[in-house]
Amino acid sequence: MVGLATVFGAGGGTSSYREIEDTDVIVLWGSNARVAHPIFFHHVLTGIRKGAKLFVVDPRRTESARWADRWLGLHVGSDIALAHAIGREIIAAGLHNRAFVEGSTTGFDDYRAAVEPWTLEHAEAVTGVPADAIRELAHAFALADRAQMCWTLGITEHHNGVDNVLSLINLNLLCGHVGRYAAGINPLRGQNNVQGGGDMGAIPNKLPGFQDILDDAARHKFDTAWNCTIPAHHGWHLTQMFEAMERNELRALYVIGENPAQSEADSGHAIHILEGLEHMVVQDIFMTRTAQLADVVLPATAAWCETEGTVTNSERRVQRIRKALDPPGDARDDAAIIIDLAHRLGHPEWSYPDAESIWNELRSLSPMHTGMSYQRLADLGGIQWPCPSNDTLEPSYLHGRLWAEDPADRGRRAPFSPVPWAGPVDQITAEFPIRLTTGRRLDSYNTGVQTGAIASPMRQGETLDLNPDDAMRLGIDDGDMVRITSRRGSIEAPARFDAHLRPGLAFMTFHFPDEIDVNVLTIEANDPKSGTAEFKASAIRVDKIMSRVPSPVAGT
C-alpha cells in the first residue's frame, strides 16, 4: 500500500475483480492466487477462457503457474532486475505509450537511465530467467490493449518490498495500463478485511478514509466528533513497536486479532520482547500462543459469523456481514469490549447501540464512505469506495482522470520510480547454502490458530520442500527427517521432494507452529518504508538426522 500511495495518493488496488475477465494480459507476480486467493483466481480463469494470456513470475512453479502461458522462474529477491529489464526492452523496442508517459507521468528520463544497464542478458544472469522469456513478457504486456499487474507477498515481504512494488508500477505507467477499464495495478489483500482495517484508519499515519493525520482540518474534525485531541504526528507500525518495546519505551500492548508470537520473523526474539512487557492484553477468539503470554485475555466473538458489521475486500468493495451463530461462553463482540473499555477510561459518551450506528458515524466523517448506508450496501450487494453520495454509482476502477482530454483535469501526474536493485539481506554462503522462502498452502490459514482447531483430511502436516537434485546431493531422501538451521535458530521437519522448486530453493509454511515453527528461522530484516519483514528470503543449512521410517505394510 505504501508503493501505491506514493504514486497515486490512495492505497488501494485500481480495478474490480470482474475487470480481470475482460483483460488481454494478466501478470501474477509473486502471487500464488490459485491457493491464496481462490475466488479471485476464478475470475482469472474466466479471463483465460475468454482469451487472456497469463504470465506467472515466481521462483516456484506454483499451482497458479499451471494455467500460465509462460512461467518466469526467477531467483528469490531478483524482481527489480527483472522488472527493469522488461521496462528497458519495452522502451528499446519503442513499445511504450508515449502520449500517456508525456501527458500523465513524471520522471521518465530518470527511469530510462535507471533501467538502461538492465539488458536482457544482464537480467538473465541476475534473475535466472531466460532472455527470450523476458522479451516475450515485455512485448505481450506492452502490445496488449489492456493488461493487469497483480502481486502479493512474493513482492512485498522483502527488505526492499516497497521498491519492488514501485518497479512493477513503473511498467504499468510505461504502457498506460492504469485508469482504464480492465487495465490496472492490483495488490491482492491478505486477510478478508485487511483493506477495511486500513480504510478505517488502523494504520499509523491516517485517519478513517485515508485522511492524513498531519492535516489540521481533518484532525480537528475528528477531535470534535470524538471529544479528544488526536496527536499531530505519525504513530508506530508493528516493526517500530517491537523496536520501541526493545528500548523499553513501549511497555504495554493491546493485541486484537493478531498472533505475533508466531507470525513475527525471528519469533524467538519476538517472544523474548513480548515477555519483557509490563502489561499485555490479548483479545482473540482462540487461546493463542500470544494470549498465553498475556496478563489479561479478553475472549471475543468471531467477526465473520457471530457479529454484525462490514468487511472490505481487495477490490475496495464494502460488504455487510451478519450474525449467524450465538457466540460461545463469555465471548463478546469486539466493538462492545472496546466501548466498555472507553467507558472505564472516562469516556461515557461513547454510545453505539449497534454496528450500524458505528458505521453511520464513519459515513459522517469519511467522505469516501458517505454514500454507503446499510440499506444501499444490502440492496446493491456491496459497494466499492470511493462512494461520496447516495447516488454514486460503482466507480469500478480508479485514476481515470489520468486520461482526461484536458491536461488541467488530470490531477497530479503519476511519478516513475527509478529504484535500485539490492538482493536479499540473509546471504547465501558455504555454511548456509540454501535459500528458504516461506508462504502458504491451500489447506491451512496463517498461524494455524483457526484452521488447526478443526481436523481436516486435506491437511498433511508441515514438510521442508526441497528440489530433488539438491536433496539427493545432500544425501536426503523423500520423507527423511532433517534439521534446518539458519543464523537465528534451528528446527526439525520431514523433507519432501518438490520438482517445482528452482535449484537451491526450499519452501515451508508457517501454518504448523506447534510442531514446526518456521519463524524461528526467518530473518528480521525489515523494509524501512513499510515495516514488512523479509519472510521470503532466509539462508539455511539442511542436515539429515534420520531416514524415513517406512509405513507399515498391511499383513506384515
Query: Which positions touch Mo ion (CB under 5 A)?
Result: 190
Is the Cβ of residue 152 or residue 485 nearer to ligand MGD in the bound state?
Answer: 152
By a kind-dependent CB cut-off of 5 to 8 A, residue 446 interacts, out of Mo ion, ligand MGD, none, with: ligand MGD
Helix (H) or strand (E) holding 2: helix 2-8
- How many Cα atoms sit within 13 Å of 225 on the Cβ side? 16
Catalog residues that contact ligand MGD under the rule CB under 6 A.
29-33, 35-36, 57-60, 62, 76-77, 79, 152-154, 157, 190-191, 256-260, 263, 283-286, 288, 300, 302-303, 334, 437-440, 442, 444-447, 449-450, 510, 518-519, 522, 535-536
Nearer to ligand MGD, 73 or 209 (CB): 73
Residue 104 binding result from ligand MGD, Mo ion, none, given CB thresholds of 5 to 8 Å by partner type: none
Length of the chain: 556
The item of ligand MGD, Mo ion, none sharing an interface with residue 195, based on CB under 5 to 8 Å by kind, is none
Q: How far apart are CA 54 and CA 38, in angstroms?
A: 16
- In the complex, the smallest distance separating the C-beta of residue 279 from ligand MGD, rounded to whole angstroms, is 18
Specify the residue, 32 or 167, whose C-beta has the smaller distance to ligand MGD. 32
Closer to ligand MGD by Cβ: residue 284 or 470: 284
Q: Residue 77 binds which one of ligand MGD, Mo ion, none, with CB within 5 to 8 A depending on kind?
A: ligand MGD
Long-range contacts of 379-383 (CB under 8 A, 24+ apart): 381/319, 382/317, 382/318, 382/319, 382/320, 383/317, 383/318
* Residue 130 interacts with, from ligand MGD, Mo ion, none (CB under 5-8 Å by kind): none
DSSP calls for 289-350: HHHHT-SEEEEB--HHHHS-EEEE-TT-EEEEE---SPPPTT-B-HHHHHHHHHHHTT-TT-
Task: Please report the beta strands in 31-161, taking only residues with DSSP state E, as ranges in sequence order.
Answer: 53-57, 70-72, 105-106, 147-151
- Tell me the three cell numbers of residue 369: 464512505
Residue 314, all three cell numbers: 481487495
Residue 241 Cβ vs ligand MGD, minimum distance, rounded to whole Å: 13
Cis? peptide before 386, omega within 30° of 0: yes
Nearer to Mo ion, 424 or 439 (CB): 439
Nearer to ligand MGD, 31 or 104 (CB): 31
State the sign of the Cα–Cα–Cα–Cα dihedral 187, 188, 191, 195.
positive
CB 272, min distance to Mo ion, A: 24
Would you state the cell numbers that stand for residue 374, as one nine-digit string? Answer: 446499510
Q: Which does 464 bind (CB under 5 to 8 A by kind): ligand MGD, Mo ion, none?
A: none
- 305 in Cβ contact with 324 (< 8 Å): yes
Which entry of ligand MGD, Mo ion, none binds 152, CB below 5 to 8 A by partner kind?
Answer: ligand MGD
Taking the complex as a whole, the smallest distance from the CB of residue 444 to ligand MGD amounts, in Å, to 6
Smallest gap from Cβ 325 to ligand MGD, in A, equals 12
- Taking Cα atoms as reference points, which of 193, 114, 185 lies closest to residue 155? 185
* 193 vs 319, beta carbon nearer Mo ion: 193
Least distance (Å) between residue 269 CB and ligand MGD:
14
Task: CB nearer to ligand MGD: give 89 or 387.
Answer: 89
The 3 state secondary structure assigned to 172-205 is: HHHHCCCCECCEEEEECCCCCCHHHHHHCCCCCC
Shortest distance (Å) from residue 537 CB to Mo ion: 17
Distance CA 203, CA 502 (A): 36
Considering the complex, what minimum distance in angstroms separates the CB of residue 541 from ligand MGD? 18
Least Å distance between CB 71 and ligand MGD? Answer: 11
Q: How far is the CB of 502 from ligand MGD (least distance, A)?
A: 9
Burial of 465 (0-12, 13-18, 19+ CB in 10 A): buried
When the beta carbons of 266 and 368 are compared against ligand MGD, the nearer one is 266
**Residue nearer to ligand MGD on the CB measure, 192 or 205:** 192
Q: How far is the CB of 191 from Mo ion (least distance, A)?
A: 6
3-state secondary structure of 509: strand
Q: Least separation, in Å, of the C-beta of 198 and ligand MGD?
A: 13
Task: Report helix, strand or coil for 17.
Answer: helix
**76 is in the binding site of which of ligand MGD, Mo ion, none (Cβ under 5 to 8 A by kind)?**
ligand MGD
User: Which among Mo ion, ligand MGD, none contacts residue 445 (Cβ within 5 to 8 A by kind)?
Assistant: ligand MGD
What pairing do the DSSP bridges indicate for beta strands 25-29 and 317-321?
Answer: unpaired
Closest CA to 532 of 93, 163, 171, 86: 163
Nearer to ligand MGD, 289 or 369 (CB): 289
Task: Indicate the residue whose CB is closest to Mo ion.
Answer: 190
What is the 3-class SS of 426-487, one letter each residue?
CCCCCCCCEEEEEECCCCCCCCCCCHHHCCCCCCCCCCEEECHHHHHHCCCCCCCEEEEECC
Residues 140/25, Cβ–Cβ less than 8 Å: yes
Which residues, at least 6 apart from 525, have a Cβ–Cβ distance to it below 8 Å? 159, 265, 424, 425, 426, 533, 534
Distance from the Cα of residue 100 to its chain's centroid: 29
**Helices 108-115, 79-92: crossing angle, 10 deg rounding:** 110
Closer by beta carbon to ligand MGD, 24 or else 58: 58
Position 157, amino acid: E
